[in-house]
Amino acid sequence: MAGTIIVDRIESDASYASTINVANKITFSNTVAFAGSTSGNTTVVAAAVAGTSTLTLPTLTGTVALTTRTVQVFTSSSGTYTTPTGCKAIFVRMAGGGGGGGNNSTTGGTNGTGGTTTFGSSFLTCTGGGGSSTGGSTVGTGGTATGGDVNISGGTGQTGFYNGFSSGGGIPGGGGGTNPFGGAGGSSYNAGANAASPNTGAGGGGADAPTYNVSSGNGGGAGGYLEKTIISPSATYSYAVGAAGGTGSGGGGQPRPGAAGIIIVQEFY
């Protein structure tokens, strides 16, 4: 039977349940208000029918908050992460520190390895990129990652080159390794190396070889990278951000350090 039902008001005593069952749909021409406590959840459940259920919202003034998200970023040192009140899940992205670039000449020493980044002690771990040295010697290897839903090892630094131009001319050093955050340090001839972008965990560039019979420096390795979704997170997690690896000693070039690591925590409510 087709027709129209106009309901002026529906009331119910608190001791009784109130239910309205409509076979097809109800069209409200003005306002639908869910009264009750100012806390807790109001749930609207779509019918179990084949196809896609669509919630259509009219043009309105203000904000419709379907999901609230906050972000905390840690770029140095160590401490304790505290999960915000009401947070249902967190998404963690992090990287270990990058190794620095090596110096030029056969006397260039091995550079510093990047520090390890951790979240929840050993729960999530990204080791730092390896140290490097002169061309033809130690190349900075990438760090590793464990505990994530996605674990990606950092890229290995590029090998430096031997300058065999007796008539002059410079040779660039090796570029630093990279991970999904990017930012590796490069190198140019007669201009030294470039620094890795801050807090990417990328490796630093190796020093150039500006004169004959000199080997340029290798690039530093990048820190490992991971991603992890944590449902119903713990109240606290200890964390530590891996430091950047230093540059190679000896030689006369300008290698650059790697970048420190990072931890990014997105919080969902």
Per-residue pLDDT of the chain (269 residues; tens, 9 = 90+): 555 556 555 555 555 555 555 555 666 566 656 555 555 555 555 555 566 656 565 555 555 555 689 999 999 999 999 999 999 999 999 999 999 998 886 555 567 899 999 999 889 999 999 988 766 567 899 999 999 999 999 999 998 888 888 776 788 889 999 999 999 998 877 667 888 999 999 999 988 888 888 888 899 999 999 999 999 999 999 999 999 998 866 666 778 899 999 999 999 99
Q: Is residue 50 part of a domain?
A: no
Q: Is residue 52 part of a domain?
A: no
Q: Is residue 205 part of a domain?
A: yes
Which residues span the domain enclosing 108? 67-269
Q: Is residue 98 part of a domain?
A: yes
The answer to whether residues 62 and 200 touch, using CB atoms and an 8 Å cutoff, is no
Domain total of the chain: 1
Tokens 């200890």 locate to 238
Q: Is residue 260 part of a domain?
A: yes
Helices (H), 142-255: none
255 phi/psi in degrees, rounded to 5: -70, 165
Q: Is residue 76 part of a domain?
A: yes
Q: What is the pTM of this model?
A: 0.75
Q: Is residue 207 part of a domain?
A: yes
According to DSSP, residue 134 is labeled: B
pLDDT at site 247: 84
Alpha carbon distances (Å) from 187 to 11, 26, 166, 207: 76, 68, 21, 7
Q: Is residue 153 part of a domain?
A: yes
According to DSSP, residue 159 is labeled: P
Residue type (1 letter), 21: N
DSSP lists the bridge partners of residue 69 as 268
Distance CA 106, CA 214 (A): 7
Going by C-alpha positions, the residue among 175, 45, 46, 24 that lies closest to residue 100 is 175
